[in-house]
Structure 1
Amino acid sequence: MQAEFKDEIIQFYAAQIALALDYIHSKGIIYLNVKMDNVMIGKDGYLKLIDFHKAKNLYKTGKTNTTIGNPTYTAPEILEGKIYDSSPDWWAFGILLYELHYGSPPFAGSDPFEVLKSIQKDEAKFSDENSDLDHLLSRLLRKDPKNRCKGQKVLQHMFFNNLDFKSLLAKKIEPPFFPNVKSESDTKNFKKVEADLPMIEYPMVDFVKRKIQFW
């Protein structure tokens, strides 16, 4: 497995996503939509999370059991129909970082069902578990949410030891990339899609809701 991005570039982007998730969770909200498509690079080179329509407010119990999400980023506890807190966001964060590092997700298949089966049955593979990044990934991709690295433990992980979070929050760190845009409304970097395309629904949602073992 060959790295797609250098660790320092992944660190810059990963820290911003982790800070955003930790802040959202501190407000009693889980995002439930962590994926590449929802991470935008602004004109200033810093990230923004978009598309909060799947977010859930946990102000009553601090937990939920909603079964939604892209199969690639679906956490094991969601597949098992369990009640969960913010843990699926950190699992999906781990999947996203894995993609940045290795160029492909750790769990794959020829169709959504095969991907979900891989998530439940297989273990993520790492090229060097002695590296700080792979160490973090191995903690984020633990199937048991009780043992998964989350929140402040992510931000305090040794992968971020040399990062100045105050400078990052103040946007004083030079971004590794600036998108080529003429204005805030320039959409040339986005794919053109038809406005009336049908939504793709994965049958796993109904299966999990009825607690049926489908493999």
Structure 2
Amino acid sequence: MVLDLCYESEFHHSVMPEAAAASVMWQLMQAVAHCHRLGVAHRDIKPDNILFDEDSRLKLADLGSAELFSEGQPMSGVVGTPHYVAPEVLAGRDYNEKVDVWSAGVVFYQLLVGFAPFRGDSPVEIFEAVVRGNLRFPTRVFSAVSAAAKDLLRRMLCRDVSRRFSAEQVLRHPWFSICEQNMRTE
């Protein structure tokens, strides 16, 4: 088997301008939506599994935790990585492919401010913070982040799965158009 030469993402703790974050998130959500159209839930989206080829094209890697799904057929089992795993997974409930949208939302938050939205000093504390799902936008770090970006974060990191955006809905959010317009005028 021959694979593309790819490089690890370097945005674990760095802050990206919104335009750069939009490029990464657009590519990531295109990959997630493609997986979902094929009936595949990744279930472990995190920076370590986001790679880039030499032309800066995003590649979603490591499908070791992925599962095939059918519409209306829930998945189960605790899989994922602290910080990125969705609350319904940690609660031991059945879940659907929107767990990937939650994980991508955590990546998005990190891109904008350099740290995860739900933190703790141990995996147990992190899991407790995720289950509480108290999404905050501290002014000292979010003052330069647009209202549209915060709106998209709220829709991706929504604890109510029925209200959480799908990958396709994320791609239709106005934030992407706003970022594209801003790039053209700069």
TM-score bracket relative to the smaller structure:
0.7 to 0.9
- Identical aligned pairs, as a percentage? 27
1:163 and 1:151 map into 2 onto residues whose CA distance is: 18
User: How do residues 25-174 of structure 1 correspond to structure 2 at under 5 angstroms?
Assistant: 25-59=36-70, 62-126=73-137, 127=142, 131-162=147-178
Alignment-derived partner of residue 181 in structure 1: none
- Listed one character per residue, the Cα deviations across residues 47-75 of structure 1 (whole Å, up to 9, x for unaligned) are 11111111001148532112111011111
Matched residue SS, 2:59: strand
Q: How many aligned positions are there?
A: 162
TM-score by length of 1: 0.71
- Listed one character per residue, the Cα deviations across residues 17-54 of structure 1 (whole Å, up to 9, x for unaligned) are 10110110011110001000000111011111111111
Give the number of the structure whose residues are more often helix, by fraction: 2
Q: Say yes or no: does 1:23 pair with 2:40.
A: no
1:62 and 1:157 map into 2 onto residues whose CA distance is: 27
Kindly state the Cα deviation for residue 151 of structure 1 after the two structures are TM-superposed.
2.2
The alignment yields a C-alpha RMSD, in angstroms, of: 1.8
1:109–1:115 contact (8 Å) kept in structure 2: yes
**Rg larger in structure:** 1
2:109 and 2:71 map into 1 onto residues whose CA distance is: 33
